[in-house]
Each structure stands twice: as C-alpha cells, then as structure tokens.
A and B are shown apart, each in its own frame.
Chain A
C-alpha cells in the first residue's frame, strides 16, 4: 500500500515534515504573442494549481497552448498577464526547482548518459566524487540504464533517451516536474512501458508534477487530477479529480466509477475539439479523429 502512495515532503530529509514542497500556481496567467500587425492570444486568465506530491495531467485540443503554459511555468518565457507562484514566491526565469522534459530530447549530445544525469548537481556543486557517482548510478538503475552509463544519447534508443532525460531532471530533486508529451513519437509498446517508468519517477519525486498528453488512457493512468483545457485562448475548462489508487489495474479500468470519469473527460474533450474544429483550426481534424476513435 505505502509503495503506491506518492512520496510527500515528509519522506524527504530536508525541509520540515508536512510542509508542502512544489506548490505551483498559475494566477490569472495570460500570454499573447504579437507578430508584426496581428496578435494571437494563446492563454487567457488561466488558473491552475499543482499540488505537492500530486500529478496534474493536462489535456486539450491540439494547438490550444499546453506547451506555451509549460514554457511559462518553466520560466523560459514571461507571461504577458498574471504570475506564476512557487511555494508562495513569484518565479522569474528558469531554475532547477522547475524542470521540464519535452517531446524532443534535450539531452546534451556531447555528454554520456551518466554525465547528462550528473550535470545539474555537479555544476551547482551539490554533489561530487563518490556521492555524485552513487546518486547518479542509483537513478540510472531505477530506469534500467546502468549498463548504458557511458553511451552518448545518439547511441540510445528513443525510449532510453526519454528515461535518461526523466532521471536527469529527477537528479536535481526539483520541486516541480513539467512533462510535455514526453512519450509522443514512441511506439505503442515502448509508450506503455514508459508509463510504468513514469509512475516510478513520480513515486520518487517529492514535489508536484504536470504531465501533458493527448492520450486519455495514459492521462488517466497517471493523474491525481485531470485539467481539461478549452480551445485557444486556453484556460481550464474543468478540473476532474482522479481518486483511484495506483497502479491502476485492468480491474479498476473496468469499474463503473472509472468508466464514468472517462466518459465525462471524453465528452469535455470532444466538446472543445468540435469548437476548435468549427473555428477553423486545421489541427483539430486530427484531434476529433483521435478522440472519436476512443469514444
């Protein structure tokens, strides 16, 4: 039972017990891009709170602004309205407390798997020598990469790269993990396995997590709460609680409560997809198809 519980602040040596670590709040966040004479409002008055020790899954029409939100939360771009607050303090710029993993690998091609994972703690001089070595090896073992420590990213398969990148983030004990469709582009088999890896990662991670996906089953396997975004300009259309214990078994997935939640999510997603379709967004055709197939 306790293995299934998310690791909370209390299990972590530093920081007083029960203090929430990694509560990240988007407060009335807006983002408008201005290009020459026309402007494009991508996010509008978006409120979303990522709770410590919990996984928030974000889903919404393609092109609605999910990646845009991740960029704002990670500090790569400033919001044009509102603010992002981490544990009571407004954020500015990127930092090791909020780490993002995107669909495209950002492992450094010039560092080995080991060096990539070690990079953050090493340059911040938090760990060195034998301590660094054992911390990194432990993480590589966690995702089955211990035999690939000296391989360069180009020598790893797509799934291995994703795993290495996940533990590279984890090595910094971030307060927030931001995962933007990290498994997009992997084959179905690998994707299923990566879902389990992700559950392992979340168990080890003390802070909050945001996971963007376009696959409802994947989202429901991981989520504590599911945030469904509206069509652009995006905000949270509905926040659904996903109270099921993990791992979510086949048995659970055929239970009435689960199916009801899934049906509700599907309907909400479908509604937004149709809207985005009506407003003429080309991408939405793919979206309707994808969700229509599930319905």
Chain B
C-alpha cells in the first residue's frame, strides 16, 4: 500500500507523466519506422534490436571499460578545468587590470574549437591519453572563465553597496558578495562546459584511441554492427544527462538559495 502510494506520487505527477508519454511515443515511432522500412529512418536498428544488443553489452567487461575510459577523461579534464578556470575567472572578474591583460588572450583562444587542438596536442603531449584529457580540459576551461567573468560583471551594485555599508572590506566584498552572487553563472558555465566536454571527448576518442564510449560507437560503425552504434549513442546521451544532473545536484547543495 505504501509502495503503491510512492509509485503513484512519482508516476502520478504531470511532469513525469508527460516525460513518459514523450519517451514511449518516441520508441513506438522508432520501432514503427524500422518495421515499415521508412526510407533513411528505417535503416536505423529498431528498438528491439538495440535492446538485445544492449543486454549483450551490459554483460561484457569491455562495455564497462568504455564507460570507465570516457568517465576518467571527463573527470580529470573537467576537474582540472574547474580547478584552474574558477579561480582564474574569479580573479579576472575581480581585477580590471588582470582582465585587460589576460582577456584578449582568452578571447582569441576561445573561438578555436577544442577539436582543432587535437593535432597539436597529440604532438605536444607524450601520450594519446594525455592529449585527449587536455582537449577535454580546453572544452570546459574557456567556458567556465567566460561565464564567471560575465557573472561578476552582472552582479547588482545594490549588494556591493549594502555590504560596504554594513562594514565589509575589500575581501569581504569578494567573499561575501561577488563569489556567491556569481555562483549561478559558475554553475551555468559548468553545465555548458560539461556538455562541451562530452562532445569533445567522444570525438577525440573516435580519432585518437581505442577505448571509451566514443570508440565503442566508432567500432560499431567500422565492424558494421549497427545496433552497437545506437547503444554507444544512447550510452553517451545517458552519461551526459547523468553528469549534468550531478552538477545540478552538487550546485544546489552549495547554493541552496537557487532552489525553485
């Protein structure tokens, strides 16, 4: 009875119901287009085939090694980008002089797509692994810096004035106002950066290595195992979704006032 209540609460909510409807419709249409051999779309493996392949893959160590490989690259690259990018972004947002010196450099580097860095980083870094991590790092690094700098520039003067009146010194203004006020933009930067990171890592894995979800997908293509391609794609989608969700969770933990 209690369980039924819980289930009803989860699945009874309008939002959940709508998501379920949309997902179900998608799968049904997908299956139909495969069955009816609709041109172009019909060539995609059907949900049934994909599910069969997925079940097979789940019991293979290699599938999980692909997850592990991509996750490790993302984790290291993304974490390094935050570790360097957040303080640098805060510093640039804080100091006008630093902004004037360093920002033009950022502006020039930023539009270069991270993937265009692949050849250079393969040459520079001793291993393919390091070069991929580096490219992943770049994907998130500039995004987080730009978001923080813009976030700090947009902090409402009211809060700075109030803090100054209440007795905050220069460091107080930074720690008590600029930092918390720019947290939403830090989180946006991280979420966008995480998206970019997945794009980059998947593409890099197709080019430069033999592990990871990107490689898994690529292998499906090379070997002509089409259901595996779809399994790879779905896995990447799931991984991206999970990591964005995690950022949101962690973010709300540190910035509880942003709830609702």
Contacts and interface: CB of A to CB of B under 8 A. Distances in A.
Q: Do A and B come from one complex?
A: yes
Contact of A110 (B161, B172, B181): B181
Contact of B161 (A76, A119, A123): A76
A123 B165 contact: no
Contacts of B183: 110
Given A102-B158, A110-B183, A124 B165 contact: no
A104 B161 CA distance: 13
B158 A106 contact: yes
Interface SS, A side: loop
A90 interface: no
A164 B75 CA distance: 42
B13 interface: no
B203 interface: no
Given A152-B257, A154-B260, A108 B167 contact: no
B180 A110 contact: yes
Contacts of A104: 158
Contacts of B159: 106, 108
Contacts of A205: none
A123 B166 contact: yes
Nearest to B256: A152
A94 B260 contact: no
Contacts of A93: 164
A95 interface: yes
Interface SS, B side: helix
A99 interface: yes
Contact of B168 (A111, A123, A153, A154): A123
A174 to B, nearest CB: 9
B255 A100 contact: no
A110 B166 CA distance: 16
B162 interface: yes
Interface in A52-93: 74-76, 93
B257 A154 contact: yes
Interface in B228-260: 255-257, 260
* Interface magnitude class on chain A: 20 to 34
A76 B163 CA distance: 12
B163 to A, nearest CB: 8
B165 A96 contact: yes
B176 interface: yes
Interface in A15-42: none
Nearest to A178: B165
A211 B36 CA distance: 76
A154 B159 CA distance: 15
A270 to B, nearest CB: 33
B176 A123 contact: yes
A124 B167 contact: yes
A237 B164 CA distance: 32
Interface in B127-182: 158-159, 161-168, 172, 176-177, 180-181
Contacts of A154: 257, 260
Given A110-B183, A154-B260, 7 more contacts: A94-B161, A99-B165, A106-B161, A108-B177, A110-B257, A153-B257, A172-B166
Interface of A: 74-76, 93-96, 98-100, 102, 104, 106, 108-111, 119-120, 123-124, 152-155, 168, 172
* Those 7 A-B pairs whose CB atoms lie nearest each other, nearest first: A120-B166, A110-B180, A152-B257, A106-B162, A106-B158, A124-B167, A94-B165
11 contacts: A95-B167, A99-B165, A108-B176, A108-B177, A109-B257, A119-B163, A119-B166, A119-B176, A120-B166, A152-B256, A172-B166
